Copies of this chain bind each other. A is one copy, B any other.
Amino acid sequence: MEKEKFNIVVFSGDMDKVLAAFILATTAASMGMETSMFFTFWGLNVLRKKKLTSGKNILQKMMNFMNQGGASRLSLSKFNMLGMGPAMMKVLMKQAKVPSIEEFIKTAKGLGVKLIACTTTFSFMGFEKDDFIDGIDSYAGAATFMGMACEGKVSYFI
């Protein structure tokens, strides 16, 4: 029997929403579903290396300087409070033995979740493959994703 497919567009780069996406993705993968996460827009920050600048022109560099990448420094959609909220949330998660986003990336990969980076966003943000962490399964555009979404049993935009 063919496996059910589950996929998520991770548009948001907020720690809380990204966490929810990883909880759903790893749960689905554990249940035997073929799971893919398609990171786009702010969601790409999850897969970006921590580096101070990226982008090819001054405006892209300015935008990416504000919009820092790195799974460990995502902000919260609420109560961000200049980073105090995310710090509190990280302690709350650790206390409850909920994995961090970095750990969730590893767990997801271990369970066979496909991590896909959206190349459509690359064009206007000026990203290059070198700006991203190792272990990304593929780089693809919106058409590839829509093809996947059509085959999915469940698909979310987060």
A interface residues with partner B (beta carbon < 8 Å): 4, 6, 9, 11, 13, 16-17, 20, 23-24, 27-28, 30-31, 33, 40-42, 57, 59-60, 62-63, 66-67, 77-79, 88-89, 91-93, 95-98, 120, 123-125, 142-143, 145-147, 149-150, 152-158
The distance in angstroms between the C-alpha atoms of A158 and B27, with both chains bound, is: 19
Closest chain B residue, CB of each to CB of A148? B154
Are A156 and B157 within 8 A (Cβ)?
yes
Are A27 and B146 within 8 A (Cβ)?
yes
Are B153 and A42 within 8 A (Cβ)?
no
Chain B residues near A142 (CB, 8 Å)? 23-24, 27
Task: Pick 5 A–B contacts, CB within 8 A, sort by A.
Answer: A9-B156, A59-B91, A62-B88, A67-B78, A95-B124
Are B57 and A146 within 8 A (Cβ)?
no
The distance in angstroms between the C-alpha atoms of A57 and B30, with both chains bound, is: 31
Are B156 and A154 within 8 A (Cβ)?
no
Are B155 and A156 within 8 A (Cβ)?
yes
Taking A92-B60, A96-B124, A154-B150 as contacts, is the C-beta distance between A20 and B24 under 8 angstroms?
no
With contacts A11-B16, A27-B142, A59-B95 known, what are 9 further pairs, Cβ within 8 A?
Answer: A6-B150, A24-B146, A31-B147, A60-B92, A62-B88, A63-B79, A66-B79, A98-B124, A157-B157
Are B42 and A78 within 8 A (Cβ)?
yes
Chain B residues near A11 (CB, 8 Å)? 16-17, 20, 158
